[in-house]
């Protein structure tokens, strides 16, 4: 392992600072705006929702990232998604970015924006601008500022999500930090949430984008909570080069070192989001090994964690292996059920319940004990190749319906 986890989040990397404030966008008596800022210009990379209905902020950020121009800041609000808002939604994005330009003397075209919350409501622009003004005077590079920012972007999340790691490239210490939010409307089709990563690494933009795209495929694209792909999914990575490492210009060993650290950070945040699914009591993991192809392994593992019947079984601690095999069967991947072995795993033990087309007799009490853990894995050996993939989700509880039945209130 070439990286080490350290304390902090988006402010851990050199040159990055953060701020948050109560802007009363929708919520009262809680922070609901955050800003991440680097005075030094950054190269950027991003991935975005595949939903055809894209929020105004998603379209704004896509244009910034694809332009290749330097990026300095990201401003995020929670409470209102700025999706399905027409020209007024784009005007809100521009007004927010221009407020940063006025306060921090960076081009408004270097300011990304992101929103999360209720779809179909217009943002109160005056409150956004006021929030930017407050945060611009309160920017700090402390870990606490980063933690506060990670809390400000929460909606139905029950915990904030942040992480930082350090690694060495060219004899220089490099730091990668990040924060994310996501609890509902989560399904693999990009990264299904908001995530903001910062690094002081020196790397060419094209390689930064390549690393992000490759890592997302096996991290954020492998989580699901409810089968709904959001209109606002955004992942942005900003790198300002202040670590002073030789700039990475080819996919060499330095690039692989960076990508390994990036994978760890994204996997950590993805798992945190899956375990914090709306109403969830457990992290539900599906690991498929020895599949014919990587794509088959991804399809099969995502089908297992995405099935409502499977999720209900995990909640009820019911070792009903037929539900998981059924989900695999309709996933679209081709396989022979007579090759399959299926296990339940957790910190409480491991048990095979199905082997080569035949159900196995097993101790129901022992199975119950395994499935009572707060993290449960369905492990499937396909015996048809050497590819593998892991997907993450959560159990389906009564509280999921309660949370989403009155989300606008």
C-alpha torsion 219→221→223→227, nearest 10: 180
Contacts made by residues 330-333, CB under 8 angstroms, sequence distance 24+? 330/303, 331/299, 331/300, 331/302, 331/303, 332/299, 333/291, 333/295, 333/296, 333/299, 333/300, 333/303
Q: Please, are residues 139 and 35 in contact by the beta-carbon 8 Å criterion?
A: yes
Phi (first) and psi of residue 386, to 5 degrees = -130, 15
The residue annotated as part of the active site, out of 155, 192, 224, 390, is 192
Report residue 270 as tokens.
């993805």
Strands (E), 299-374: 341-346, 349-355, 358-359
The partner residues of 20 in beta bridges, in order of sequence, read 34
Annotate 45-106 with three-state secondary structure: EEEECCCCCCCHHHHHHHHHHHHCCCEEEEEEEEEECCCCCHHHHHHHHHHHHHHHHHHHCC
Q: Please, are residues 329 and 338 in contact by the beta-carbon 8 Å criterion?
A: no
Judge whether 40 counts as a catalytic residue: no
Write the CB contacts of 397 (distance below 8 Å, at least 6 apart in sequence): 279, 280, 281, 315
Distance between CA atoms of 25 and 23, rounded to whole angstroms?
5
Q: Please, are residues 264 and 3 in contact by the beta-carbon 8 Å criterion?
A: yes
Q: Please, are residues 223 and 192 in contact by the beta-carbon 8 Å criterion?
A: yes
Distance between CA atoms of 402 and 204, rounded to whole angstroms?
46
Angle between helix axes 308-315 and 321-329 (nearest 10 degrees) is: 160
Distance between CA atoms of 319 and 326, rounded to whole angstroms?
14
Number of other CB atoms surrounding residue 162 within 10 Å: 25
Distance between CA atoms of 285 and 271, rounded to whole angstroms?
9
Residue 90's alpha-carbon distances to 57, 237, 408, in angstroms, are 7, 22, 22
Residues catalogued as catalytic: 192
């Amino acid at each position: 392992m070439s990286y080490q986890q350290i304390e902090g989040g988006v402010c851990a990397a050199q040159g990055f600072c953060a701020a948050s404030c109560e802007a009363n966008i929708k919520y009262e008596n809680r922070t609901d705006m955050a800003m991440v800022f680097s005075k030094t210009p950054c190269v950027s990379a991003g991935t975005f929702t595949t939903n055809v209905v894209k929020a105004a902020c998603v379209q704004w950020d896509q244009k910034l990232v694809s332009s290749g121009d330097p990026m300095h800041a990201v401003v995020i609000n929670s409470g209102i998604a700025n999706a399905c808002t027409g020209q007024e939604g784009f005007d809100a994005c521009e007004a927010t970015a221009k407020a940063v330009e006025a306060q921090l003397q960076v081009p408004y075209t270097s300011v990304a924006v992101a929103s999360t919350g209720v779809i179909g409501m217009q943002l109160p622009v005056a409150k956004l601008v006021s929030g930017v003004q407050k945060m611009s005077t309160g920017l700090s590079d402390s870990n606490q500022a980063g933690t506060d920012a990670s809390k400000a972007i929460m909606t139905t999340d029950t915990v904030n999500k942040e992480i930082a790691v350090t690694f060495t490239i060219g004899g220089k210490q490099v730091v990668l930090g990040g924060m994310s939010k996501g609890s509902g409307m989560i399904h693999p089709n990009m990264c299904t949430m908001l995530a903001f990563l910062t690094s002081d690494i020196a790397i060419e933009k094209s390689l930064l984008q390549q690393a992000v795209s490759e890592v997302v495929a096996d991290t954020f694209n492998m989580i699901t909570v409810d089968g709904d792909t959001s209109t606002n999914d955004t992942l942005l990575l900003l790198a300002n080069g202040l670590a002073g490492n030789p700039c990475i210009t080819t996919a060499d060993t330095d690039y692989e070192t960076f990508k390994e650290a990036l994978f760890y950070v994204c996997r950590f945040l993805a798992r945190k989001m899956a375990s914090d699914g709306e109403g969830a009591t457990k992290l539900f993991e599906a690991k498929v090994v020895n599949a014919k192809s990587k794509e088959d392994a991804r399809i099969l593992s995502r089908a297992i964690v995405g099935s409502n019947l499977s999720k209900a079984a995990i909640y009820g601690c019911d070792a009903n292996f037929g539900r998981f095999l059924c989900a695999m069967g309709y996933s679209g991947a081709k396989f022979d059920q007579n090759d399959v072995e299926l296990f339940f795993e957790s910190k409480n033990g491991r048990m095979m319940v199905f082997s080569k087309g035949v159900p196995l007799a097993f101790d129901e009490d022992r199975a119950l004990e395994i499935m009572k853990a707060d993290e449960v894995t369905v492990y499937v050996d396909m015996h048809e190749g050497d590819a593998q993939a892991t997907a993450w989700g959560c159990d389906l509880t009564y509280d999921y319906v309660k949370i989403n039945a009155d989300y606008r209130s």
